[in-house]
Amino acid sequence: MAQCYTLAGADYFSIVIHHIAFDGWSVDLLLKELLHYYRVFTGEASNEPPAPAVQYREFALWQRQHLQGATLDKQLAYWHGQLADHEPLNLPTDHVRPLQLDYRGDDITFQLDAATSAELRALAASLNVSLYTVLLSGYYLLLGVYSNQQDIVLGTPIAGRHYPGVEDTMGLFVNTLVLRRQIDVSQTVREFIGETGQQVSEAHTHQDLPFEKLVEVLKTEKDSSRHPIFQVMFSLQSFGAAGRTEGESLFEQYDAQEGAYRAAKFDLTVMLDDSEEAIGGVFNYATALFNGQTMQNYIATYQHILRQLGTLCSQGRSLAELQYLDSAQYEQIIFQGNRTECDYPREMTIHGMFEAQVARTPENIALVFEGVSLTYRQLNERANRLSVYLRERFAVRTGDLVALCLNRSEHMQVAILAILKAGGAYVPLDPLAPDDRVSYMLDNAGIDIILTAHPGDEKAAALAATGRTVIDVADRETSSDIARYPGENQPSSVRSSDLAYIIYTSGTTGNPKGVMLEHHSVINRIVWMHKQYPITAQDRILQKTNYTFDVSVWELFWANWYGACIVFASQEAYKDNVYLAELIEQQQVTTLHFVPSMLSAFLETLEGQSALQAKLGSLNYLFCSGEALNVGEVRKCQRLLPHCQIHNLYGPTEATVDVLFYDCNARSIKDVLIGKPIDNTSAYVLNAQLQPIPPGGNWRVIHWWRRCR
């Protein structure tokens, strides 16, 4: 469509052409022809421009006849080999991918500085590759770091003008090539760019197969939410330069105005322009998937990658040495985002925190288990007597390891506090664990003393058969003996840097792995928790996690540092969701923890049961950790327990239970994150080379560092 306009005394000629009949190469041809006719009009030229050697309709007929038989078979064989077992590129998105592509998009432009542009051109010349290859190599690396994939598949347009006689023919010759690149970080940057160039050259040799035919023969599984085969594009163009260089005052570049329709055919398309001194470009992205700020991060990372290529190449460096954060991103992520320094009672011990609370609220109820309840004073006295008993009768000293093989009850809390008061560290053993696992842990930790509360059962007999000292704290005679020891707090030389417990986790070698934690780490973790989620003396925390899992640590200690009460669930009945609801109502539990899969089962029990839901009115805090928490479960929890706050916690046992936290209480919540670091803890999202990755990338390794030590 062509129209003439007169605006403010100036004449304009506007041409709009559909891409189905025109490609970028044709833009230059059109501008040259228009310029020629304009010069004929002004008298600067007199002859007609030469006609093209081949008309487009002639080319279309020839192409159809050419792509048959052996020629077609050769092309198909190459592309089958190139794309065997390829996987879609999974860039992390800001929004859930819609079921149907809607093609809504937006553009963000950027420009490299002239110096970097010159360096990239010089690098291409020194490596004897095209500038396109250098810029494409940077794009591969960008996609690799954000997707956390080493096998990248993308699309790129190709001019399709390699046939004789079509150089001056207007029409749509462009085809789409699929490029696949493996990223091996052990390669040097020079090797990577060189091999990328070879790959591009090979693909160009097999460019005759139309992309539509490739999709047809590969028989890729149809997915209405994604473009077939590849989801991202890359192009470098310089068309339109003829008009700007030969007729600066005649041709004017048109830029879409604010509010103009913008589309995105792919998840992400990067279009670079090499027609000026400084290389510029556009990141075109699907707004249904990404936010603008995410694309700004992509652009910053891409530019930072490109700036490093020349230096790394000249120094023979490997891809593993490439940095992905520019100085501003590095400052924000490494320093600003990890300002968590906070004072806490770093010289205190776990039992010291409890003893301080005993002095404040001696007659408060410290724990409840079925028909048993102990005040803070009673619990402290019983722990003191057992502590002195262990020190005087069995010579337990600072640093000694004492195993526990106990079911959930008041004996568990007394025994743990007693071991800590004696200076030892507790090692919890599951009474239901296989004997060979228990035996391995006892041998591995070098344990000589085991506390149980299983008079006469098979587990107690099996432990005694190991030749170790087994003390049954529930035995009547033993209990009478322990009761003769003093119940007052004893002088203690235990320091906050001393070992508090060892919890065995599933080891990667098949054997359990003992994780050693000290008092100060537990102090920091629980003091942070109390500051973030305050409780009072009226609160009641449900203890239902097996003490061989680290969640039990805050369930066992938090309440008793702040005057609240621990409610111990039955050893087996806690798996019964109806029992749990009734226990919560009976004991007015305010705080509890669920592994997400157990939360799902609990909520399923509550669904449609208004009477059960009514029993849970006392709940204030519900914490989840141990597994990924699904946003659907959060929404269901918000619906069934609207009065209860939901919080997602994340962290490995080695980092003292949890190191990251996330508030899930927004009614418009779209996703559940693992959150930000707790006090005195830094969190870094790293790639396989232990380098920080840019914001928005798929994380592979989470690394933490406690500053509280």
Same domain, 311 and 444: no
Helix then strand then coil, % of the chain, to nearest 5? 40, 20, 40
Count of residues in the chain: 709
Q: Mean pLDDT over residues 294-304, rounded? A: 96
Tokens 């190139």 locate to 82
The reported pLDDT for the residue numbered 684 is: 87
Q: Is residue 39 part of a domain?
A: no
The reported pLDDT for the residue numbered 708 is: 41
Q: Mean pLDDT over residues 294-298, rounded? A: 95
pLDDT one-digit tens code per residue, 539-589: 999 999 999 999 999 999 999 999 999 999 998 877 899 999 999 999 999
pLDDT at residue 250 is higher than 80? no
Q: Which residues pair with 426 in a beta bridge?
A: 402, 501
Same domain, 315 and 418: no
Same domain, 308 and 382: no
pLDDT one-digit tens code per residue, 201-233: 999 888 888 888 888 888 777 888 888 999 999
Residues 169, 52 contacting (CB under 8 angstroms)? yes
- Total number of domains in the chain: 2
The reported pLDDT for the residue numbered 709 is: 37
The reported pLDDT for the residue numbered 202 is: 92
Q: Is residue 621 part of a domain?
A: no
Closest to 356 measured CA to CA, from 339, 376, 378: 376
Q: Is residue 30 part of a domain?
A: no
The reported pLDDT for the residue numbered 26 is: 73
Instruction: For residues 35 and 448, give the distance between their C-alpha atoms in angstroms, rounded to a whole number.
Output: 95
Residues 286, 268 contacting (CB under 8 angstroms)? yes
Q: Which residues pair with 503 in a beta bridge?
A: 515
Same domain, 165 and 305: yes
Q: Is residue 531 part of a domain?
A: no
Domain that holds residue 66: 51-239+260-326
In the chain, % of residues over pLDDT 70: 94
Same domain, 396 and 316: no
Same domain, 66 and 111: yes
Domain end marker among 474, 495, 519 = 519
pLDDT one-digit tens code per residue, 35-88: 877 888 787 777 777 778 777 787 777 777 777 788 888 888 888 888 988 889
Number of Cβ within a 10 Å radius of residue 458? 10
Closest to 622 measured CA to CA, from 581, 587, 591, 586: 591
Same domain, 322 and 407: no
pLDDT at residue 239 is higher than 60? no
Domain end marker among 462, 485, 519 = 519
Report CA Rg, the chain: 35
The reported pLDDT for the residue numbered 507 is: 66
pLDDT at residue 454 is higher than 90? no
Domain end marker among 519, 543, 573 = 519
pLDDT at residue 349 is higher than 60? yes
Residues 183, 89 contacting (CB under 8 angstroms)? no
Tokens 């995410």 locate to 294
| Model confidence band, residue 704 (pLDDT cutoffs 50, 70, 90) | very low
> In degrees, to the nearest 5, what angle opens at C-alpha 142 toward C-alphas 139 and 145?
150
pLDDT one-digit tens code per residue, 418-434: 999 999 999 999 999 99
pTM of the entire predicted model = 0.80
| Model confidence band, residue 459 (pLDDT cutoffs 50, 70, 90) | confident
Same domain, 351 and 286: no
Q: Is residue 275 part of a domain?
A: yes
Q: Is residue 485 part of a domain?
A: yes
Q: Is residue 422 part of a domain?
A: yes
Number of Cβ within a 10 Å radius of residue 261? 7
Q: Is residue 14 part of a domain?
A: no
Q: Mean pLDDT over residues 103-129, rounded? A: 96
In the chain, % of residues over pLDDT 90: 64
pLDDT at residue 317 is higher than 60? yes
C-alpha distances (whole Å) from 574 to each of 141, 216, 315, 612, 625 are 50, 56, 62, 15, 18
Instruction: For residues 516 and 427, give the distance between their C-alpha atoms in angstroms, rounded to a whole number.
Output: 10
Instruction: For residues 390 and 377, give the distance between their C-alpha atoms in angstroms, rounded to a whole number.
Output: 20
Q: Longest Cα pair distance anywhere in the chain, in angstroms?
A: 121
Same domain, 304 and 430: no
pLDDT at residue 705 is higher than 70? no
The mean of the pLDDT values for the chain is: 89
The reported pLDDT for the residue numbered 703 is: 45
Q: Residues near 285 by Cβ (< 8 Å), separated by ≥ 6?
A: 105, 106, 107, 108, 264, 267, 268, 269, 295
Closest to 680 measured CA to CA, from 335, 349, 350, 344: 344
Residues 479, 473 contacting (CB under 8 angstroms)? yes
Q: Residues near 126 by Cβ (< 8 Å), separated by ≥ 6?
A: 313
Q: Mean pLDDT over residues 190-194, rounded? A: 97
Instruction: For residues 447 and 468, give the distance between their C-alpha atoms in angstroms, rounded to a whole number.
Output: 8
The reported pLDDT for the residue numbered 253 is: 63
Tokens 């690396």 locate to 141
User: The CATH number of the domain where 144 resides is what?
Assistant: 3.30.559.30
Tokens 């004997």 locate to 435
Same domain, 320 and 360: no
C-alpha distances (whole Å) from 192 to each of 116, 299, 320, 628 are 20, 21, 12, 36
Same domain, 394 and 492: yes
Instruction: For residues 597 and 570, give the distance between their C-alpha atoms in angstroms, rounded to a whole number.
Output: 20
User: The CATH number of the domain where 491 resides is what?
Assistant: 3.40.50.980
Same domain, 211 and 119: yes
Choice between 212 and 522, residue whose per-residue pLDDT is larger:
522
pLDDT at residue 700 is higher than 60? no
Q: Mean pLDDT over residues 501-523, rounded? A: 90
Q: Mean pLDDT over residues 490-501, rounded? A: 96
Tokens 């989801």 locate to 231
Q: Residues near 54 by Cβ (< 8 Å), separated by ≥ 6?
A: 163, 165, 166, 169
Closest to 237 measured CA to CA, from 187, 174, 288, 179: 174
- Which region among 43-57, 110-124, 326-340 has the lowest average model confidence (pLDDT)? 43-57
pLDDT at residue 706 is higher than 50? no
